[in-house]
Amino acid sequence: DAKTTQPPSMDCAEGRAANLPCNHSTISGNEYVYWYRQIHSQGPQYIIHGLKNNETNEMASLIITEDRKSSTLILPHATLRDTAVYYCIVRVDYPGGYQKVTFGTGTKLQVIP
Amino acid sequence: DSGVTQTPKHLITATGQRVTLRCSPRSGDLSVYWYQQSLDQGLQFLIQYYNGEERAKGNILERFSAQQFPDLHSELNLSSLELGDSALYFCASSVDGNSYNEQFFGPGTRLTVL
């Protein structure tokens, strides 16, 4: 299964874009990239996912490189409430409809006033 | 509020004991997942159930077991507890088991083993 590598921590000024990188160099063709975040020991919250194309929703944008070996989550205008641990996850689908998700230790994003 | 409920919120017990954690998925969700998060660690996937049947296994110890009932709620049983089992235990649910549906996480059960 593909593993992900993320920087352990990042700071971002409030109102600026937060760009969180993730390396998944061993990803294979059927593996999706998912991003979740966890605010202070609450249950993780889904943000966005993608396979090959860039994706955008009301929370964030996901940029996946053409070779799919890395991706970047972009929070366009970070607020203090975006302070959280952000997990980049590769999700593997197996025959029969089940999947396996491996969370790493994530990136702790601190948004600074 | 994700719609996933977990009980109890906190549990304190002693080594060697057995506990049961309960999870009710979002209405309509068929898949339930269990995760363990130790202090300052990432989430470790334990096990997944889909419509009452085990679908995938992660790093679940033999002392741990789970099941999903006909009403789709799930229980995680932890036995012969050790100090190292102290952790947050999260349950998540999704509509089904396929790749297009995100998981919705509950608030977690904090287990402390003394």
**Each residue's pLDDT tens digit, B13-58:** 999 999 999 999 999 999 999 999 988 677 888 998 999 999 888 8
Size of interface A-B (CB pairs under 8 A): 64
For chain B, the straight-line distance linking the first and the last C-alpha, in angstroms and rounded, comes to 31
End-to-end CA distance of chain A: 39
Among candidates B43, B48, B107 on the partner chain, residue whose Cβ is nearest the Cβ of A103: B43
Nearest chain B Cα to A91, which residue?
B99
Higher pLDDT, A58 or B96: A58
Whether residues B105 and A94 touch (CB distance < 8 A) is answered with no
Residue predicted with more confidence, B55 or A86? A86
Tens of pLDDT, residue by residue over A2-35, are 688 999 999 999 999 999 999 988 888 778 899 9
Q: Which residues of B touch A46 (CB under 8 A)?
A: 102-104
Q: Which residue of B has its CA nearest to A103?
A: B43
Measure the CA–CA gap between A43 and B104, rounded to whole angstroms: 8
Chain A residues whose beta carbon lies within 8 Å of the beta carbon of residue B4 = 43
